[in-house]
Amino acid sequence: MARLLPGTRALRTLEAAARHLNFTRAADELGLTPAAVSHRIKEIEDQLGIVLFTRTSRTIRLTEAGAVLFEAATDALDLLGRAVSRAHKTARGTSLLKVTLDAQFATKWLMRRVDDFRKHQPGVELRFDIASELRDFDLDDVDVGIRFGAGKYPGLCAHRLFDNVIVPVCSPALLRAGPPLKEPRDLFHHTLAHIEWARQGVTWPNWRMWMAAAGVDDFDDSRTLVFGTSSDVVQAALDGNAVALADFAMVANDLSEGRLVRPFELGMKVAPEFAYFLVYPKSVADEPRIVAFREWLLNEVTKTPT
């Protein structure tokens, strides 16, 4: 019977083809050609003596037997992926802590403080997974994460780090070169940048919203620069190309060290339920390396200007 079982490569091909019901899309996902996907499926069918897909000139459909194997392949690959993740974590021991977080939080906040953690916790080695997508603690080789969201993470401990206050910032060179910025309407003479972000009915503050809060009701936002990431917005300000709306906590060091200035004090809070959170599985909450990182991080948060 063991000789009849398809290997992992075959199961991945079957799962992708059955999920997409399209060999071309499955091939794109797997890095194969459609012909290679079709060949692998035919190999599985010949090996098992079962027809898994019915094919026409334009479509493919799962047979009843194919649907049974698709469900089993999905479960088997998921179970194997979780086991591999646990095996990786077991093999690397308890002195290594892998942290997943986005690029902005890493470069603008955490990396500046890592030496302090290493000084206080020499027995814990930090490694970072810089990614915008969310990781799965059961499937990915990570231990803790720093995520921006509403703090509702089933099965995870979540510690709120700090509120997000959005403020206008620019480079000192831009401020010196003019035109002068004495009142909000003076911003009409500058390039303005912000990010475009909305989730669960909440919109990240943009220039139209900031102008309304400043009492400017005739602002035309058609000429603003809109970026997909906060790091790009901050970089535009650092380069002297724009006045940007940025998260204060993420630019606090740039402000204190003079790379950026605040032309106006008015700030806008993101909806209170959204913030950065430290998250990790409840099952590992008492592990010494998790406790050490959590206590250090939360203490560092209290030192961040607000």
**pLDDT value of residue 222:** 81
**pLDDT value of residue 297:** 94
**pLDDT value of residue 149:** 81
Instruction: Using a cut of 0.95, tell me whether the model's pTM lies above it.
Output: no
**pLDDT value of residue 266:** 93
**pLDDT value of residue 1:** 46
Question: Percentage of residues in the chain with pLDDT exceeding 90?
Answer: 40
What confidence tens digit (pLDDT) does each residue in 130-170 have?
887 888 888 788 899 998 887 788 889 999 998 788 999 99
Q: Which phi-psi region, left, alpha or beta, contains residue 131 (left: φ > 0; alpha: ψ -120 to 50)? A: beta
Is the omega angle on the peptide bond into residue 179 within 30 degrees of 0, that is, cis?
Answer: yes
Describe the chain by its helix, strand, coil percentages, rounded to 5. Answer: 45, 20, 35
278 pLDDT tier (thresholds 50, 70, 90): very high
Judged by DSSP in three states, 273 sits in coil
What DSSP state is assigned to residue 134? P
Map tokens 């603003």 to a residue. 224
- Report whether 162 contacts 193 (CB < 8 A): no
Q: How far apart are CA 233 and CA 154, in angstroms?
A: 32
**pLDDT value of residue 3:** 57
Q: How far apart are CA 242 and CA 44, in angstroms?
A: 58
- Sorted by sequence, the CB contacts under 8 Å of residue 222 that are 6+ apart come out as none
Average pLDDT over residues 107-121: 89
What confidence tens digit (pLDDT) does each residue in 33-64 have?
999 999 999 989 888 888 999 988 778 899 99
Q: How far apart are CA 85 and CA 141, in angstroms?
A: 5
Q: Pick the residue with more confidence: 114 or 1?
A: 114
Structure token digits, residue 26: 């499955």
**pLDDT value of residue 92:** 66
**pLDDT value of residue 262:** 94
- Report whether 183 contacts 211 (CB < 8 A): no
112 pLDDT tier (thresholds 50, 70, 90): confident
Helix and strand element counts for the chain (H, E) = 11, 14
Outline where the chain has alpha helix (H): 8-20, 23-30, 34-48, 64-91, 103-105, 114-120, 172-177, 207-213, 230-238, 248-256, 288-302
Q: Which phi-psi region, left, alpha or beta, contains residue 93 (left: φ > 0; alpha: ψ -120 to 50)? A: left
What confidence tens digit (pLDDT) does each residue in 228-257 have?
888 889 999 999 989 999 999 889 889 989
* Averaged confidence pLDDT in the chain: 87
Q: Pick the residue with more confidence: 173 or 271?
A: 173
Rounded alpha-carbon distances, angstroms, from residue 97 to 86, 102, 106, 160: 14, 16, 15, 20
